[in-house]
Amino acid sequence: MEKAEFKISGMTCAACSSRIERVLNRTEGIDQANVNLVTEKASIAYDQNQVDMDQVFDKVKQLGYEPIALETADEAKARKNKELNRQKMKFIIAMILSLPLLYTMVGHFSFLNFLPLPHVMTEPWFQFVLATPVQFILGWQFYKGAYGALRNKSANMDVLVALGTSAAYFYSIYMWVIHAGETHIPLYFETSAVLITLILLGKYFEAKAKGHASDAINKLLSLQVKEARVERDGEAVSLPVDQVQQGDILLIKSGEYVPLDGEIIEGDTSLDESMLTGESIPVDKTIGDEVIGATLNHGNFIKVKVTHTGDDLVLNQIIKIVEEAQGEKPNIQRLADKISGIFVPTVLGIALVVFIIWFSFITPLDFQASLEVFIAVIVIACPCALGLATPTSIMAGSGRSAELGVLFKSSEALEQTQKVETIVFDKTGTLTEGKPSVYKVIDNTENQQFGTLVKSLEIQSEHPLSQAITDYYQDVPNLIVDQYQTHPGNGISGYINNQFIKIGSQSFIQPDLKQFDSALEDEIKSLQSQGATVVLASIDHQFAGLIALRDEPKTSAKALIERLRPNYDIVMLSGDSQGTAEAIAKELGIHRVIAGVKPDHKAEEITKLQDEGKNVMMIGDGINDAPALAKSNIGLAMGTGSDIAIEAGDIMIVGGDIEKVAAALDMSQRTMKNIKQNLFFAFCYNTIGIPIAAFGLLAPWVAGAAMAFSSVSVVLNALRLQKVNPQKKI
């Protein structure tokens, strides 16, 4: 079996991807096919002795879609931009042509008779000229999609749109023909044109949302270092990373990115691993420690022996996890698509039976009377409201959500969020501020110069902990430091006013102290149990004080957890130590903590929760969260986090306000409730109207008016979402 991937252009709904997948899986020689609507990608396993890719592409083309060989990131972006611009232009042209028709319809309302209505706008030929391009040029994609669906014995939204708009359009032509020369002919050209225009607008927004599906992968790929300096025969040689082999020695200066995974064999330094781990504090590294490719060297020059290359790199494994998670077929079936598969052929059957009954028995051989009843049934049963029920609610709900600072990237995300049962929070940068700050200070100096001495020494360092201490003492003057020295992985030292000052870890300071009592030892342990990093200071080998620093919880995080806890299972997922994570969780009221999780294992933890039968939402902000965001049922990324996390998530919170998570959950619930109301309204019109029309009690123009009213009521109901304020409690 060979494996292949390719893009498919032209899919509009879940029924499209399902239909392509079903046909490919029935094709001889194809063992398995998976088609993903969001990424517009197909993956197949096939026997090249039985079928080749040209035949596979022909199958896809026969279904009415366009297969495209895998592109580069730039090619894909250019193609998507072109498609997006094409959809936008189609909507603009349709809107220009439809507005005069809409104005004409409104002008006929008696309470608006003061509006000027030129005679030419009421002429059938004028309305025909405007509506025809909308129906058959701009709306051709719906006919094409409907033909492909019907050809494969299924029905999708394209069938609904083509049927509904065609009924209104061709009935208008019929009335124009049989009432030629008369005035006040009931025409419904505006119904078909305006409906197509609204649906084209929805298609534009959908194409725009789907255009970001692959951005997460592209940004992950951009992290990969292209070149590495390698030691060869005692000299430094620059090589492309794909030419570097396992066992080679990398030479990495301060300020450079680590090209590949490896082990330090010379030097001590601090590495900023926040792009992969999400942790804000650089990690001290020394000989024998592992380093991860794409992390930033903040400290000294180091030599690294390469241990992993190619697909084995941590970054590449993360990329693979995201790709696989995004490529999985979502278990979502559009309610309207399911119903339309039964509803459309049923309506056609009813209309045909009604026509035969009228033509044979009620008005024998009276074709015109029978045809009017037939058209009345088709028009009143026309699922225009059904076609608008879902997209209008989603557009209104997502639009209101955007005003509230919650960006749903797709209608699937808006639909799935209301099913969430378990919410998993990343700790750093999501529940906490994402950077260290001073938590507690103990000053043991007699002359109260602790702050001045500490700041004077710390201001020499670029370490994030030093920056946090300097910020805390920003109003304190600093003194001149002599013989300043950095001790990688331990701390810093120097002379101030002939006093020897040391600041650093307990293991760095304590051996040189003349006294260190047990009470202080207990205080340090207590602070560490609260998730704090403790920095000690000494003056001339005497204990001078300590500073505890911590990544503080966001002020709104505790209130959010209290708000969500009655209805959701809350979990904290962190790469931090168990003690640090549990200390923060206890403060916030979170009872379930999964700590010490490596970046490439976070997605596995999400899978374990899903295996418990839970519908999981993951909330994070770091690159290390991207696989988990993609793997979860719903991924929510904080807007203050990494671009890759934002792109991998299904929902983005603008800024860092964690309380907006509640708004996202609430808006999803309201929107799905609104969609169900719309579907109920749509079917009420059909259920009541079809029998009335079948008995000949409903003129086609009345049926058309009822059809239009059903669509208007659905839209008005959806627009209520634009005025919604999220509930105080979910």
Catalytic sites, residue numbers: 426
Would you say how long the chain is, in residues?
Answer: 730
The rounded distance, in Å, linking the Cα atoms of 170 and 189 is: 9
Per-residue tokens: 276? 């992969």
**Contacts of 296 by beta carbon, 8 Å cutoff, 6+ apart:** 255, 256, 257, 258, 271, 272, 275
The rounded distance, in Å, linking the Cα atoms of 501 and 482 is: 10
Strands 533-539 and 499-504: antiparallel
Q: Which of 212, 202, 205 is nearest to 390 (CA)?
A: 202
Residue 109 vs residues 106, 230, 326: alpha-carbon distances, Å:
6, 80, 50
Three-state SS for 170-218 is HHHHHHHHHCCCCCCCCCCHHHHHHHHHHHHHHHHHHHHHHCCCCHHHH
Residue 315 vs residues 224, 308, 607, 623: alpha-carbon distances, Å:
8, 11, 20, 10
The answer to whether 632 and 616 have CB atoms below 8 angstroms apart is yes
The rounded distance, in Å, linking the Cα atoms of 21 and 60 is: 10
DSSP letter at 432 equals B
Per-residue tokens: 110? 């008696």
Q: Which of 628, 576, 588 is nearest to 431 (CA)?
A: 588
Q: Which helix (H) or strand (E) element contains residue 264?
A: strand 262-266
The sheet carrying 616-620 orders its strands as: 406-408, 651-653, 634-638, 616-620, 422-426, 569-573, 592-594
